[in-house]
Amino acid sequence: MSIKYGESAFKDGQHLGKAQAARAPTVEFAGAAGKRHTLIMVDPDAPSPDNPAMREWLHWIVANIPGGDVSKGFTVTEYAGPTPPRGTHRYIFLLYEQPEGVLLPAKQHEQRAKFHADVWAKAHQLGDPVAACFFKTAAGE
């Protein structure tokens, strides 16, 4: 999976500024024909790494992505860029392959605080992620 903010892909664990990641990235992955995927972005460090009481903070969900083309998926939760109030936060992208014949319902998910990607994935029959990567952003940037 390759994730680009602007023209360049970030490396797993790289530090990005808030302004750099303010808009939704371009996400590319090798999706097999006929397969659909779901992409989730979360912050496990909300509101701060030493007190993640709002873990996980949901930043983005795109479901029913056909053949690796995220632009053709259904946006379940609109993208929200990083806004860490304190400390350095991790922003994690999780890619799930949807089981054959499973289409997620076309409905919005609004609650961002205390989201649990693993619980949501299980409730939607997604299993474990097939790819993951993350970047870091610090408060005050």
Contact 98, 67 (CB under 8 A): no
φ, ψ dihedrals at 79, nearest 5°: -65, 135
> What percentage of the chain reaches a pLDDT higher than 90?
77
- Dump pLDDT digits (tens) for 21-53: 999 999 989 877 788 999 999 999 999 999 999
Q: Quick one: tokens of 2?
A: 């390759």
- Dump pLDDT digits (tens) for 63-91: 999 988 899 999 999 999 999 999 999 99
C-alpha–C-alpha distance, residues 90 and 71, integer Å: 24
Looking at residue 105, its pLDDT comes to 73
Looking at residue 56, its pLDDT comes to 95
Model pTM score:
0.94
Res. 141: pLDDT tops 80: no
Indicate the helix (H) or strand (E) that contains 119.
helix 117-123
